[in-house]
């Protein structure tokens, strides 16, 4: 299982510059961590409306780590999606990346995926999440800079990027070249001008509150 937590609402609002938004919820790990449960979603919908956002539609999909499931389910919402100008996703980082791969709209994570050493679900694709604790997908067109950039940079490419390839491995696409192309495709290149604060590497470890919970759950299971 992959563990995620909701971002503070102000952070979601800062990412979400568009007025019309479609919500996509994962019914897998995200439901277990309660980030996509009804109470949370109702509260966020209310706050979004209070802040002038129009919610064009909402759908919960069993596993957002499956692009097949996403496309099959979303095909029933074509009209609502065409009316939307952005997507807000309640899932782990892999789910957000998968949604972004299937839809050419700005896609934003409502969550941060927190390190617990968890594994993704049933349909592994090329998307990976290193559970970095601060999800950057909202500023990268849904392409993870932590897994796609060899140096895990969050403020654009290093000086070694070479015609779309990475300086560390010329067989590998430069993550930031991919991010640039995606942002260009969805008309969001201006995001690249926003400075990102240095990463908080404390978040790369299991947070102490969750560490205790995990051990407690393991103990409980052993007793069963
Ligand atoms: S930025 Fe990448 S590694 Fe970090 S939470 Fe998002 S998907 Fe996961
Ligand atoms: S060349 Fe691109 S992918 Fe490679 S380290 Fe530099 S920015 Fe990251």
Q: How close is the Cα of 223 to the center of ligand 1, in Å?
A: 34
Tell me if 216 is assigned to some domain.
no
Pairing of strands 111-114, 3-6: antiparallel
Average pLDDT over residues 112-139: 82
Tell me if 217 is assigned to some domain.
no
Specify the pLDDT at position 215: 46
Tell me if 222 is assigned to some domain.
no
Tell me if 218 is assigned to some domain.
no
Average pLDDT over residues 196-202: 89
Tell me if 32 is assigned to some domain.
yes
Specify the pLDDT at position 2: 83
Tell me if 40 is assigned to some domain.
yes
Contact of 200 with 134, CB cutoff 8 Å? yes
Closest ligand 2 atom to 151 CA: 5
Tell me if 30 is assigned to some domain.
yes
Q: How close is the Cα of 224 to the center of ligand 1, in Å?
A: 34
* Closest-approaching ligand to the CA atom of 146: 1
CATH of the domain at 123: 3.40.50
Task: Quote the domain boundaries for residue 154.
Answer: 3-209
| Rounded (10°) angle between helices 93-102 and 67-74 | 50
Q: At 18, list the tokens.
A: 């568009």
pLDDT above 60 (res 219):
no
pLDDT above 50 (res 4):
yes
C-alpha–C-alpha distance, residues 127 and 88, integer Å: 18
Condensed to tens digits (0 to 9), the pLDDT of residues 44-91 reads: 999 999 999 999 999 999 989 889 899 999 999 999 999 999 999 999
Tell me if 215 is assigned to some domain.
no
Q: How many domains are contained in the chain?
A: 1
Residue percentage of the chain with pLDDT more than 70: 89
């Amino acid at each position: 299982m992959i563990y995620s937590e909701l971002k503070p609402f102000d952070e979601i609002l800062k990412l979400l510059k568009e007025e019309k938004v479609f919500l996509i919820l994962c019914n897998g790990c995200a439901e277990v961590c309660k980030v996509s449960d009804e109470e949370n979603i109702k509260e966020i919908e209310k706050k979004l409306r209070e802040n002038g956002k129009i919610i064009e539609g909402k759908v919960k999909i069993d596993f957002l780590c499956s692009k097949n499931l996403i496309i099959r389910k979303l095909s029933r919402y074509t009209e609502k999606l065409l009316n939307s100008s952005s997507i807000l996703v309640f899932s782990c980082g892999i789910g957000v990346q998968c949604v972004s791969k299937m839809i050419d709209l700005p896609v934003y994570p409502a969550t941060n995926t927190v390190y617990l050493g968890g594994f993704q679900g049933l349909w592994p694709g090329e998307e990976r999440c290193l559970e970095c604790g601060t999800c950057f997908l909202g500023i990268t067109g849904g392409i993870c800079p932590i897994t796609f950039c060899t140096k895990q940079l969050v403020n654009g490419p290093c000086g070694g990027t070479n015609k779309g390839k990475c300086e560390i491995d010329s067989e590998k696409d430069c993550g930031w070249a991919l991010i640039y192309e995606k942002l260009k495709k969805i008309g969001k290149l201006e995001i690249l001008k926003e400075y990102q604060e240095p990463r908080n590497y404390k978040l790369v470890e299991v947070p102490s509150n969750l560490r205790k919970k995990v051990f407690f759950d393991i103990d409980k299971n052993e007793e069963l």
